[in-house]
């Protein structure tokens, strides 16, 4: 196993499981961007998918610090992790999300 992949995934895991439930996540977006650029194995991709689902669910159900909701305007919209504010306020274009994330997003948005 490549230790670099493990460290990157571990950073994201800590942000998702410890910081985000408290409405925080100082390096959440950067950790997710690093993962988007990494070559991951099948097991890591499955874990990443689960973590991404937790992020979307948390954004739509928890109180989140304002700094984390400040979108990065010049980031591509398909890189959803730079647009957490739009996701949080249900203004993100759902069709740009991967199907499992889209399902959570639309379900939570409909419940609003």
What does the pLDDT look like over 87-106, one tens digit per residue? 999 999 999 999 999 999 99
**Is residue 16 within 8 Å of residue 51, measured between CB atoms?**
yes
**Is residue 89 within 8 Å of residue 81, measured between CB atoms?**
no
What average pLDDT does this structure show over 34-59? 96
Of 58, 53, 54, which Cα lies nearest the Cα of 68? 58
Of 112 and 107, the structure prediction assigns the larger pLDDT to: 107
List Cβ neighbours of 87 (8 Å cut-off, separation of 6 or more). 56, 59, 60, 80, 105
Alpha-carbon gap, residue 27 to 89, rounded angstroms: 21
pLDDT interval class at 2 (50, 70, 90)? very low
Alpha-carbon gap, residue 45 to 61, rounded angstroms: 24
Where along the chain do its domains lie? 3-111
Residue 6 in this model has a pLDDT that exceeds 90 = no
Mean pLDDT of the chain: 93
Residue 37 in this model has a pLDDT that exceeds 50 = yes
What average pLDDT does this structure show over 15-30? 96
């Amino acid at each position: 196993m490549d230790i670099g992949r493990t460290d990157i995934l571990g950073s994201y895991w800590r942000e998702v499981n410890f910081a985000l439930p408290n409405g925080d996540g100082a390096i959440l977006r950067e950790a997710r961007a690093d993962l988007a650029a990494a070559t991951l194995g099948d097991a890591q991709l499955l874990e990443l998918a689960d973590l991404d689902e937790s992020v979307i669910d948390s954004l739509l159900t928890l109180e989140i610090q304002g700094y984390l909701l400040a979108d990065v305007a010049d980031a591509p919209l398909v890189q959803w992790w730079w647009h957490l504010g739009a996701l949080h306020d249900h203004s993100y274009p759902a069709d740009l999300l991967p199907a499992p994330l889209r399902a959570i997003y639309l379900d939570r948005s409909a419940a609003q």
